[in-house]
Structure 1
Amino acid sequence: MLAVLVRWGLRLLALLIGACLALAFPAVNAWWWAWVGLVPLLLLLARAGSFREAAWRSWLAAGGFFVTLHHWVLPYLGVFSVVAAGIVGLVWVPFGLAAYGLLRRPSLARVLVAMLVLPSVWLTVEALRSWKHLGGTWGLLGLSQWTVGPVLAVAALGGVWLLSFLLVAVNIGITALLIPGAMLRTRLVGGGVAVVLAAAAVGYGILRPEPVVTGSMRVAGVQPGIVYGPQKRLAVHLRLTHELAGLDHDVIVWGQSSVGLDPKQRPDVDRQLREAAAATGSDLLVNVDARGPSGQITKSTYQYTGKGLVATYAKQRLAPFGEYIPLRPLLGWIADYTGAPKQDRSPGDKLTTLNVSGLKVGPLISYESTFPDMRRDLARMGADVTIVQGSLTTFHGSWAHSQQAGFEAVRAVESGRPAVLVELDGTSAAFDARGRPLIWVPPEYRGTFIVDVPLSREETLYVRLGDWVPLMSGAIVIAAILGLAIRRVGRRLAH
């Protein structure tokens, strides 16, 4: 009986450790915890006693992490919250099994292998769960460093993936320093490698030369908050937009779903938007979320000038269960019990850039801000700046606001381009190409804002090479599995 209580006590401790790791992210933003927050879990895994127990501990730790980080989603999942938490917790199990296998007997060789294999396992799982149909890159460990300039610079080399790899490797090195049963040499090497990795990251960020500023773009944002009804929402946006007349800006941006009426079917709406652009002397980017003539609903960026509509971009990556239900014929019934949409939105098929005041703007819409590859592709297309139209009305007042705004800092460094996020309701923000904040507009703000965005083009290593870190990690994991299999076959043949 005592053994059972101890076992479950340690499992619950793992759950608590996972929950505490979530505090490294916005809105708590205890970024420093990401450097050491996995150490208690790794120590528990190393002393699990069996692979089965390691699976239990890693599963519960992951459940604690994701439920804490995304607690704002749970009310909208309703009765499916427990099931969702149980399923998402499985993603850390491969890491837990690998950690137990490598750290239960912490020799120098095993620790060095662990510092290569375990970050690779972690990264491979992060990359797989970042698939667009599984929710994107929310909660990647590297995103916790979005406010730490010298460390954030590492994203220019390998994206958010390299940041995650670095953090896990440092956690393992610190674990080697503390783990019971390790020889002094193992402790010193593990701790030393952790220090070297952290110092190299900070040193790169400090010594990295500043980009050449080639100009600036003056961006105005309209953030009215939640306004119910398409006619009233349009009227509020138009009123606030007219207040920006004469303030010398290059573009005015409205958030996602700011226009709930199709301008192509409503000449009066088209005329009002054209007149607003003419009156303010600026290009106007609105976001149309309305049923078209075919009956389909598409979320699209519409670019207006005084002459009318000049360009559009249709959102490609839709939020699962937020804008469509995967496998609707099988799972459509979920809409009756959650906030999932009754009708799927229709996705676009390609990225584009918009010509605004002689500059190339890369438009993205809300959920798309979570994907580093889209920002990378826009940089390759020559975008001078990326502008995201967002809306977090569903999760008003939650951690989601600062989490989404924090994405923009990481995306700016990855792409070497400044990034701007304008929310209908949420935290609007802008960052320069180094991820430094230019403006931060809290979700409770109602009105307009203007930000001067310094422009600089820099072809980062991440833009040139793409997702080389997840690919490398996947190759290391495959090699480790093959090596283990060959070793076991060799042992069986020897007997």
Structure 2
Amino acid sequence: MRIPVGRTAWVRARKLAAHPRGRAVAAVAAGALVALAFPEPSLWWFAYVALVPWMLLVRTAPTGRRAAVEGWLGGLGFMVAMHHWLIPSLHVFLVVLAALLGLMWAPWGWLVWSSLSGTPSPARAAASLAVVPSGWLMIELARSWQGLGGPWGLLGASQWEVAPALRLASLGGVWLVSLLVLTVNTAVTVLVAVPRARTAAVGGGLVCVLTTTAVWIWLPQPEQAGRSRIAIVQPGVVDGMGSAERRFARSEELTRELAGQDIDLVVWGESSVGADLRERPDLAARLAVLSRSLGAEVLVNVDARREDPSGRTGIYKSSVLVGPQGPTGDSYDKMRLVPFGEYIPARGLLGWATSVGKAAGEDRLRGSRPVVMALPGEKADGLRIGPLVCFESAFPDMSRRLTRDGAQLLIAQSSTSSFQGSWAPEQHASLAALRAAESGRPMVHATLTGVSAVYGAGGTRVGGLLSTDSSTSAVYDVPLARGTTLYVRFGDWPVYAALAVLAALCAARGARSFRRPAPGLAVPPVRTAHESAVRPVR
């Protein structure tokens, strides 16, 4: 009897999946799949099932230890896929970093296994709908620490184009959106793998849908409070000797073309000025001329060595506001630096990374505080702006702090020129939509080389994108907003809720272990007099 070819392939696939090496490969691939939900593919709908293959694999692990290993391997696959555009800069060191950071998914793998392995009861399956998403959120919280790379690739960020998800972000930030996506993934996993608990899975899915619908209806929209005309200047890719001077000249040329368009503010991208304006008064004077010709301030970004008031000398990245008379004195120094790109954590231990890639040869210096700048002049009507630099737009707490400090418009000055042709520019630009929705404030994402974009207070895009092949300027009529979102008011409460869920799980398991007699100390059953009198027939 001949076995059909299709069935033979299926049998081989099952044997491969049963082998430890086959399972390891499958875990890495399953983790990598998740990256498809983010830009540039931006398959936002895929996020709601992207974790299902990984979870189905982990729940069938023979032991909890093996499940933890497969959690780690899946985390490694996810980190490499999510940051693959760093390979030209970090080479093999990216895999080393991904392997280290992937360890954070090992406890989550064990958590999935302990919640869904075997044939879980309906109660255990229902509990997994809260426990498994809470465990994932702890990973997102941990890696949001700047020293571990920052919150790039939070699962909720994949929903940057989805209006109901953006509304959820105004309630609980990107954290609440991540919980929603994880809950749906867990419910689908239960639906597929645990037939006796399908009612719980369907119920959990319905709760998610009904909750999102209720939030959509109940949460108020940002209240419009006037408009402001903001221009973005994107000079495009400028390489070779003297690139800083030629980039400045191109930005200057594009800015002049904006004359007569009644602009309130012009925004240049990150590292748009390559010298300290105090050391180069000629550059400061040229910027002042531009400001006078437009009747608007110019927000530039200076990437240069300077001495600060405390006497430290080093390279800072600074947002500097320039008016008709030159720099106004309002400036912000970047606080959160890109690991390996702008500094090397534990340089004494990891400094060898400079020999295998384009890691920072010198650590840049950090700013000490966020800054809200008020635009002078009657035309701008005292518009208060909150600047961020580069990947600081990935941190929800930074835009929240600026909003609480009175910012009416958030501005991120960025440059992804090293990663043209990759997914990085689109990923970076998408983060501004989440920050705008969380804060209830419009956000401008201005870059040197694209993608540049503007988002309204609800996270919806204003005007068109400036793509990575554009050298141009554009003016956006940005609606401002007033009021405070619940996320700005209450902060990261979904994180604390997830911590409470995990604490309750630990308490319940601890209580169960306490009630269970320890091995070797079991109390022998007490026999009645009748049972003692009756002896078995031998």
Alignment TM-score, normalising by the size of structure 2: 0.88
SS at match of 2:462: strand
Alpha-carbon distance between aligned partners in 2 of 1:75 and 1:198, rounded to the nearest angstrom: 42
Gap change, CA 1:332 and 1:46, over 3 Å in 2: closer
1:343 aligns with 2:354: no
Alpha-carbon distance between aligned partners in 1 of 2:231 and 2:370, rounded to the nearest angstrom: 23
Give yes or no for contact 1:15–1:61 (8 Å, CA) kept in 2. Answer: yes
Q: Which structure has the bigger radius of gyration?
A: 2
Q: Identity of paired residues, percent?
A: 42
Alpha-carbon distance between aligned partners in 2 of 1:418 and 1:109, rounded to the nearest angstrom: 44
Letter in 1 for 2:211: A
Give yes or no for contact 2:93–2:353 (8 Å, CA) kept in 1. Answer: no
Matching residue of 2:535: none
Alpha-carbon distance between aligned partners in 2 of 1:446 and 1:158, rounded to the nearest angstrom: 37
SS at match of 2:487: helix
Gap change, CA 1:355 and 1:148, over 3 Å in 2: same
Matching residue of 2:473: 448
Matching residue of 2:489: 464
Deviation at residue 362 of structure 1 after TM alignment: 0.6
Alpha-carbon distance between aligned partners in 1 of 2:455 and 2:506, rounded to the nearest angstrom: 41
Gap change, CA 1:412 and 1:5, over 3 Å in 2: closer
SS at match of 1:214: strand
Deviations 1:420-445 (A, max 9, x none): 10001120011111111113211111
| Aligned ranges 1:177-256 → 2 under 5 Å | 177-180=191-194, 182-183=195-196, 186-205=197-216, 208-228=219-239, 229-256=243-270
Question: Which range moves more in the overlay, 165-174 or 13-22?
Answer: 13-22
Gap change, CA 1:199 and 1:36, over 3 Å in 2: farther
1:70 aligns with 2:77: no
Deviation at residue 237 of structure 1 after TM alignment: 1.4
Deviations 1:233-258 (A, max 9, x none): 21111111111111111000000000
Letter in 2 for 1:91: M
Deviations 1:175-233 (A, max 9, x none): 222214x42xx211221221221232144225544322110111101101122422222
Matching residue of 1:283: 297
Alpha-carbon distance between aligned partners in 2 of 1:164 and 1:3, rounded to the nearest angstrom: 34
| Aligned ranges 1:108-147 → 2 under 5 Å | 108-147=122-161
Letter in 1 for 2:40: A
2:326 paired residue among 299, 305, 308: 308
Deviations 1:111-139 (A, max 9, x none): 12211111111101110011011111111
Deviations 1:114-171 (A, max 9, x none): 1111111110111001101111111111001100101221111110001111111121
Alpha-carbon distance between aligned partners in 2 of 1:210 and 1:460, rounded to the nearest angstrom: 9
Matching residue of 1:29: 42
| Aligned ranges 1:253-264 → 2 under 5 Å | 253-264=267-278
Gap change, CA 1:19 and 1:331, over 3 Å in 2: closer
1:45 aligns with 2:58: yes
2:181 paired residue among 167, 182, 197: 167
Deviation at residue 412 of structure 1 after TM alignment: 0.6
2:393 paired residue among 356, 369, 387: 369
Give yes or no for contact 1:170–1:195 (8 Å, CA) kept in 2. Answer: no
Deviations 1:394-429 (A, max 9, x none): 212211111111101111111111111000112001
Alpha-carbon distance between aligned partners in 1 of 2:67 and 2:410, rounded to the nearest angstrom: 43
Deviation at residue 84 of structure 1 after TM alignment: 2.1
1:318 paired residue among 332, 337, 345: 337
Alpha-carbon distance between aligned partners in 1 of 2:139 and 2:291, rounded to the nearest angstrom: 46
Give yes or no for contact 1:417–1:433 (8 Å, CA) kept in 2. Answer: yes
Matching residue of 2:26: 13
Matching residue of 1:299: 317
Alpha-carbon distance between aligned partners in 2 of 1:192 and 1:5, rounded to the nearest angstrom: 31
Question: Which range moves more in the overlay, 12-21 or 160-169?
Answer: 12-21
SS at match of 1:346: coil
Deviations 1:20-48 (A, max 9, x none): 22111111011111111222222222221
Alpha-carbon distance between aligned partners in 2 of 1:47 and 1:110, rounded to the nearest angstrom: 16
Matching residue of 1:380: 404
Matching residue of 1:407: 431
Alpha-carbon distance between aligned partners in 2 of 1:369 and 1:28, rounded to the nearest angstrom: 21
Alpha-carbon distance between aligned partners in 2 of 1:3 and 1:387, rounded to the nearest angstrom: 53
Letter in 2 for 1:237: S
Deviation at residue 368 of structure 1 after TM alignment: 0.6
Gap change, CA 1:79 and 1:34, over 3 Å in 2: closer
Gaps of at least 5 residues in structure 2 are: 1-11, 523-538
Matching residue of 1:433: 457
Give yes or no for contact 1:135–1:320 (8 Å, CA) kept in 2. Answer: yes
Give yes or no for contact 1:150–1:203 (8 Å, CA) kept in 2. Answer: no
Alpha-carbon distance between aligned partners in 2 of 1:66 and 1:326, rounded to the nearest angstrom: 18
Alpha-carbon distance between aligned partners in 2 of 1:307 and 1:455, rounded to the nearest angstrom: 27
Deviations 1:277-301 (A, max 9, x none): 1111111000000111454111001
Alpha-carbon distance between aligned partners in 2 of 1:135 and 1:353, rounded to the nearest angstrom: 25
Alpha-carbon distance between aligned partners in 2 of 1:210 and 1:370, rounded to the nearest angstrom: 23
Alpha-carbon distance between aligned partners in 2 of 1:214 and 1:152, rounded to the nearest angstrom: 20
Question: Which range moves more in the overlay, 406-415 or 455-464?
Answer: 455-464
Alpha-carbon distance between aligned partners in 2 of 1:430 and 1:207, rounded to the nearest angstrom: 26
Letter in 1 for 2:176: L
2:102 paired residue among 89, 93, 101: 89
Alignment TM-score, normalising by the size of structure 1: 0.95
Letter in 1 for 2:68: A
Matching residue of 1:102: 115
Alpha-carbon distance between aligned partners in 1 of 2:75 and 2:288, rounded to the nearest angstrom: 50
